[in-house]
């Protein structure tokens, strides 16, 4: 079979084009550091790369959620600490009053001091330093704690002393208020059942105010007394303002003992905030490690070995230049080669 110049030229052109494409591909890989520019070049790797990028984006979103929750919990802990300090200050004042033989004038002065602490406590509970009321649950736009016409503390419109845990209707409402918190998706397998988010699949990072200022009443010396700290201080103030003939030091002592017992609820909530923060720290470490692993996997899937790629590029460049020089010898010259 006779090999014509046309066949030699066509074969040479095909080989030269293949070398040129490979050289351009290697040049692009050296420049970008990526194995492929289009998914059609490596479909399997492109699918893996897409999944890795999606997982990295999810991890970044979870990390942002964690940072938001941590900031919120920091504010919550600071607020609870201030409330606890106010209660401790009130107890110190009452304790001093109990240990002294006080006149009605001295008791009225103490009552005014306690009323000031009450007001400070109410303002602190309605803390809104980042544009969100930290104890309002899903109610983040209006003050969760108010005082009704009778001077009793309300939470999201409900008078706390009137919510009786022993009453089935109130028990359901109390349960609803306690479960009404702010939630975030931290990658715990978010699920939605019949249009509602499964609470076990999200992280609740807020403390509902009803957990801080408990509901209901207790019996103190045969009289019903509100359980929440604000109204307890109010009951102490009321006792202190009684005239000498009606003032009952033993009742004041019983109210003070109830105040001391219920002050521990604040410490429990501060501990709860600490537990939530510790869990977020754990999740942060987990996602930091996951992020590193995903990025390493991404480099393996998408990136080239730079040193090896440069060597291959230089080898192909030498081969391409050699092919160009060879072409001057194997391709038949035409009349245009002799024209000046």
Per residue in 222-272, pLDDT tens?
A: 788 999 999 999 999 999 998 888 888 888 899 999 999 999 999 999 999
Say how far residue 111 (Cα) sits from the centre of its chain.
42
Instruction: Provide the pLDDT for residue 288.
Output: 93
Instruction: Show the DSSP H helices in 202-248 as ranges.
Output: 209-212, 229-240
Q: Are the C-beta atoms of residues 145 and 154 closer than 8 Å to each other?
A: yes
Whether 73 contacts 184, CB under 8 Å: no
Band (pLDDT 50/70/90 cuts) for residue 63 is very high
Q: Tell me which residue of 319, 152, 291 sits closest to 228, measured CA to CA.
A: 152
What value does the mean pLDDT of the chain take?
83
Predicted pLDDT of residue 4: 66
CB of 195 within 8 A of CB of 180?
no
220 bridge partner residues = 223
Q: Is the pLDDT of residue 177 over 50?
A: yes
Distance CA 105, CA 170 (A): 41
189: its two tokens: 């397998």
Spatial neighbors of 169 by CB under 8 A, at least 6 apart, are: none
User: Helix or strand or coil: residue 89?
Assistant: helix
Residue 32 predicted with pLDDT over 80: no
Which of 72, 54, 60 is CA-nearest to residue 203?
72
Does the structure show a pLDDT above 60 at 18? yes
Confidence of residue 101 (pLDDT cuts 50, 70, 90): low
Asked if residues 35 and 302 have their Cβ atoms less than 8 Å apart, the reply is: yes
Q: Would you place residue 336 in the very low, low, confident or very high pLDDT band (cuts 50, 70, 90)?
A: very low
Rg (CA), the chain: 38
């Amino acid at each position: 079979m006779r090999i014509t110049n046309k066949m030699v030229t066509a074969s040479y052109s095909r080989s030269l084009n293949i070398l040129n494409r490979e050289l351009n591909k290697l040049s692009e890989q050296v420049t970008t550091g990526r194995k492929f520019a289009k998914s059609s070049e490596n479909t399997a790797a492109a699918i893996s790369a897409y999944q890795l990028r999606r997982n990295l984006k999810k991890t970044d979103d979870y990390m942002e959620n964690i940072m938001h929750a941590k900031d919120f919990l920091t504010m919550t802990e600071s607020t609870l600490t201030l409330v606890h300090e106010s209660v401790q200050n009130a107890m110190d004042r009452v304790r001093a009053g109990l240990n002294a033989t006080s006149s009605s004038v001295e008791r009225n002065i103490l009552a005014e001091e306690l009323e000031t602490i009450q007001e400070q406590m109410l303002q602190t509970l309605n803390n809104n330093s980042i544009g969100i009321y930290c104890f309002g649950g899903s109610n983040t736009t209006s003050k969760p704690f108010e005082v009704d016409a009778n001077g009793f503390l309300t939470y999201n419109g409900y008078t706390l002393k009137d919510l009786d845990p022993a009453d089935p209707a109130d028990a359901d409402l109390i349960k609803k208020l306690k479960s009404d918190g702010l939630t975030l998706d931290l990658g715990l397998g978010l699920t939605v059942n019949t249009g509602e988010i499964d609470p076990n699949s999200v992280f609740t990072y807020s403390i509902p105010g009803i957990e801080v200022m408990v509901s209901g009443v207790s019996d103190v010396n045969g009289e019903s007394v509100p359980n929440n700290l604000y109204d307890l201080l109010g009951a102490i103030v009321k006792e202190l303002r009684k005239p000498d003939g009606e003032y009952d030091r033993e009742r004041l002592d019983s109210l003070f003992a109830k105040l001391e017992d219920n002050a521990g609820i604040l410490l429990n909530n501060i501990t709860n905030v600490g537990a939530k923060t510790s869990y977020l720290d754990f999740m942060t470490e987990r996602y930091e490690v996951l992020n590193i692993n995903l990025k390493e996997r991404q480099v393996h899937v998408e990136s080239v070995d730079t040193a090896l790629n440069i060597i291959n590029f230089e080898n192909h460049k030498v081969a391409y230049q050699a092919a160009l020089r060879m072409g001057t010898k194997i391709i038949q010259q035409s009349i245009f080669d002799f024209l000046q």
